[in-house]
Structure 1
Amino acid sequence: MKTSKIIAAAAVSLLAAIGAQAETYEGVQAPVSANSRSEVRAKAVVVAHSDAPYAESVPSRVIATPVGLVARGTVRNDAAAVRVQAHAAAHGQQLPL
């Protein structure tokens, strides 16, 4: 029984050693490009200013200005009233219902 366990362990360790040497390390390879830096930069500028082909709505580049239903002054007055009520509540004053 002991001999079979030793042979099995030796076989497993041999397979592990072979598997560990399956790949060779080739080091860090230098990037190779046929284009110069100026050519790459020029292409990048062209692509950056062109339409994105995978965007949801490519033709509509201009965002429509949102139109509010309430005037700006009304919103400010409402905010000021809420601020006064919050200040009063923070100082323990009773809020009008």
Structure 2
Amino acid sequence: MGDTRFDTLIHAPVRLRICGLLRQAERIDFAVLRDALGVSDATLSKHVKTLASAGYVSSGRAASSDRHDARQITWLSLTAAGREAFDAHVRALREIAGLPG
């Protein structure tokens, strides 16, 4: 088991939810994540940029088999460092709440 570390960068509510959703999937389409969170493009972009600057989230553009035009989808995913930081943060929250690890 890794360390337990409260991460103030992840703890902001929208960023915590971004990391939580991304932790459950290999990658998520920007628009799907935006809709799941109920935030604007600008809000999601701002938080993704913060997480990406910390090395927690990566993004890439790729075509989608669901699309019949040339537009590409922005895919978001947690990096290995992002997964480690999120997992450590969740352990810290559980510790604060007095819950088992």
TM-score bucket (shorter structure): under 0.3
Structure with bigger gyration radius: 1
The answer to which structure, 1 or 2, has the higher relative contact order (CA under 8 A, 6+ apart) is: 2
